[in-house]
Amino acid sequence: MNYLEKIPHWINNEEVYPEKEKDFIPKFNPATGKLFSLVARGKKIEADKAISSAIKSFENWSETPVVKRAEIIREATQIIQKQKEEIAVLIALEAGKSFKDSMGEMNAAIEMGFFVAGEGARFYGKTTTSAIPHRSAMTMRQPVGICALINPANNPVAGFAWKVFPALLCGNTAVLKPSENTPYTSIVMAKILKKAGLLSGALSVIQGLGKEAGQYLIEDHRVDLISFTGSVQTGKQIQQIAGKRLAKICLELGGKNALIVCDDANLENAAESAVLSAFSSAGQRCASGSRIIVFDSIFENFKKLIVEKTNKLKIGVKDDDNFGPLISKNAVEKVRLAVNKARSQGAKVLSGGQKFSDTDKFGYYFKPTILENVDPENEISKTELFGPVTILYKVKDLKEAITLANNSPFGLTAAIHTKSINRAQVFQEQCRVGVVSINGHTYGSEPHMPFGGLRNSGTGWREAGTEALDIYSEWKTIYTIHDPNNI
């Protein structure tokens, strides 16, 4: 499978290419900074066609038994499994990852596919009692309708699996807009769904810019559900636009996740975990560990360890490199400016703090960066950078650590390193986030478990797990009255 020179839309189970050259946008290779593909630039006309085809196929797809819908998802997942190495190569190219990391993403997508397919045989509602004689009460799921699914660039195939599989299982039809920075793998996945038997029109993929293709989808009154993963800024815009018509809106947004290192922690493990949380995937994880909160009695020892480990990290896209480039030149620039601003306001750079090389010649790399002397109220303490930057904070005890961890506009994930079950228990109870990890990383979600956050991290829905079905379906309560005298 080669990366296409021109990336099309996918509408009615067919590739659709714009007619004019100007209706393509350039796609650069993050690892080299070189142009390597042109991406269809979706306009209102394509968004409209895709939504119309979703409407046309809705009746047929939603009336297909859920077990049959699940079979198609299982069949697609089996095809994906057979082709996983080939698809991983494409992820590596478009997202700027090593093949090893891309395979990790493929395996996550496959697990999600099998999990969702399994849910088709369960799809539980509840059967319960009624206060009224000869009346029974039960609930069942029904589809929401037409879904707009909008994804970021960091995990294009896993992101596809997290949204598309549960949306289709629940009987919805959907239009997906992948990130303009990772456009092709979603087409490959959509083609596999066609091969597995997905009805024409049940899933379309519209390429292009957020402000154009993405916005047309969310503005269209025929779209019943918007499931968006991306930045807080875009999430708020979507909420404003689609909230006006009371569309169902699931927003999965950013994080500024804290990792606490207590004075009784295994420092070696804690430092290893902090480095992985902060820098793996170049910090391009909503669950990355961008705030490291350390007890003052071990602060200097821990600092030495984490700086040593960070200075040994290898940057690049080979399998033995630790992390690769950022997704775009803009992303590097955003991180560079934020670090420079923090520095000018008194932050001390313990490691990194600058671009790796000339982005145009060698790709979009930024050095793994550790800051200290940053006020918790400073902008950089409160803003997600989505890059390889973490900040060390010093606290006197657990109470202060938890207060600082909770002092954030975000509430996605948090981790603690301690040998004390008492500390771990208090932390998991008091930390105001959606996912907690004890003696582990700030990231690392599993497909059968719910994932999502509080405050600016989202609107309270949980993706993955059976909880994902609650996004993509609505409950229907059914009462049945029977007459036992008329049998």
Interacting residues toward ligand NAD by CB under 6 A: 150-154, 177, 179-180, 209-211, 214-215, 218, 229-231, 234, 237-238, 252-255, 286, 384, 386, 458
Catalytic residue among 252, 262, 431, 463: 252
At closest approach, how far in Å is the CB of 8 from ligand NAD?
Answer: 17
- Least Å distance, CB 116 to ligand NAD, is 16
Is the CB of 159 or the CB of 352 nearer to ligand NAD? 159
Minimum distance between the CB of residue 127 and ligand NAD, rounded to whole angstroms? 33
Instruction: Give 458's strand partners.
Output: 252
Rounded Cα–Cα distance for residues 226 and 218 (Å): 7
Q: Which residues lie below 8 Å from residue 173, measured CB to CB, with a gap of 6+?
A: 54, 55, 57, 58, 61, 62, 146, 147, 201, 202, 203
Residue type, 380: I
Q: What share of the chain is helix, strand, coil (3-state, %, to 5)?
A: 40, 20, 35
CB atoms within 10 A of CB 157: 28
Question: Is residue 70 helix, strand or coil?
Answer: helix
Chain-centre distance of CA 208, in angstroms? Answer: 19
- Options 105, 286, 431, 463, the catalytic residue: 286
What is the rounded CA–CA span in Å between residue 328 and residue 308? 28
252 labelled catalytic: yes
∠ at Cα 338 (332, 341), nearest 5°? 135
Q: How far is the CB of 202 from ligand NAD (least distance, A)?
A: 21
Amino acid at 457: S
Find out whether 195 and 10 touch, Cβ atoms under 8 Å. Answer: no
- Judged by DSSP in three states, 336 sits in helix
Nearest distance from C-beta of residue 257 to ligand NAD, angstroms: 10
User: Is residue 286 flagged as an active site residue?
Assistant: yes
Residue nearest to ligand NAD (CB): 210
Cβ pair 462, 445 in contact under 8 A: no
Q: How far is the CB of 332 from ligand NAD (least distance, A)?
A: 13
DSSP string, 6-53: EE-EEETTEEE--SSGGGEEEEE-TTT--EEEEEE---HHHHHHHHHH
Q: How far, in Å, CA of 22 to CA of 324, rounded?
A: 31
CB 319, CB 100: distance < 8 Å: yes
Nearer residue to ligand NAD within complex by CB, 53 or 459: 459
C-beta of 208: minimal distance to ligand NAD in Å? Answer: 8
Distances (CA, A) of 396 to 131, 422, 436: 57, 17, 21
C-alpha distance across the termini of the chain, in Å: 63
Nearer to ligand NAD, 180 or 220 (CB): 180
The structure tokens listed for 74 are 């299982």
For 355-366, b/e burial (b = at least 16 CB within 10 A) is bbeebeeebbbb
* Shortest distance (Å) from residue 391 CB to ligand NAD: 17
Q: How is residue 103 written in tokens?
A: 């395979």
Phi, psi at 396, each rounded to 5°: -90, -30
Residue 250 structure tokens:
């699931």
Select from 53, 396, 25, 300 the least CA-distant residue to 182.
Answer: 25
Please give the Cα distance from 368 to 401 (Å, whole number). Answer: 24
Cβ proximity of 65 and 113 under 8 Å = no
The catalytic residue positions are 252, 286
